Structure 1
Amino acid sequence: MLQLNAIHHIAIICSDYERSKQFYTEILGLQIIQEVYRAERDSYKLDLALNGQYVIELFSFPNPPARPSRPEALGLRHLAFAVGDVETAKTALEAAGVDVEPIRIDAQTGRRFTFFSDPDGLPLEFYEE
C-alpha cells in the first residue's frame, strides 16, 4: 500500500500577485521562504510557511483562466487554517477589511469555524482547535 507522509504544499494561482502576496503575508501572517521571478513564464513564485513549515506556493501567470471556487464547486472545496480562537481570528480579518461569514458550529465535532475568501475568491476557513 502507498505510504503518504504528509501534505507537502498547496499551490495557488492568483490574478493580482502583489494583492495576494499582501493578503497571505500581511493579513494571514504567513512567512516568505523565497520569492522567484521566472522571466521565461512571466510568472512569480512565492513560497510561504506557517510556523516554519512550508505550506503554500503562490503563483502569478499572465491571464489565468477562471475557475469556480465556491465550496460546493467540483474540485478542491476550501483550504482550512487551524486557529486557537475563531472569534479572535475573525475580528482580526475584519479589522483588515476582509469580509468574514458568521461563525458556525461543526455538528460533528462541536468546534467553531468560519469562512472567508482570498483576493481571488478562493474559499478559506478558520477552524478552531
Structure 2
Amino acid sequence: MEGRKNLGNHFEEVAARYLTSRGVFILERNVYNRGGEIDLIGRDKDTLVFFEVRYRGPGSLTDSASSINFPKQRRLLKSASFYLHKHGLWDTLSRIDVIAISPGTVKKYRVQWIKNAIQAE
C-alpha cells in the first residue's frame, strides 16, 4: 500500500506542476473529509476547482478518465459538497475536473485536463 501511496503522490505532483504551468493556483492537496478524499484543490481564475488525479499504466485495461466509476463520482461530489459547506463557500463558483495521466510517446507522460468532468444531477 505504501508503494501505491508514493505513486499517487508522484502523479499528484505531476498534475500540480501541469496545472500551475497553465495558471491554476493550487490551494490544498490530499484533503480528507467525511465525503472522502480530494486530490487537489485549486483556483482557475475565479473558479474553485476540485481535481481528481488518475494515472493508468501501459498494461491497464481502462484509460485513466474511464476508471472513474459512478460510486467514485458520487464520493467526489460528496467530498466537494462537504468542503464547500465546511468553509462557507456555497456561493462560490466551483467545479470538479479530472486530470488523466498516462504514459506518453513523445513526452514522459500524456496529461489530459477534463474540465467540469463530474457534475451534480
Structure 2 length-normalised TM: 0.32
| Larger radius of gyration between Structure 1 and Structure 2 | 1
Higher helix share: 2
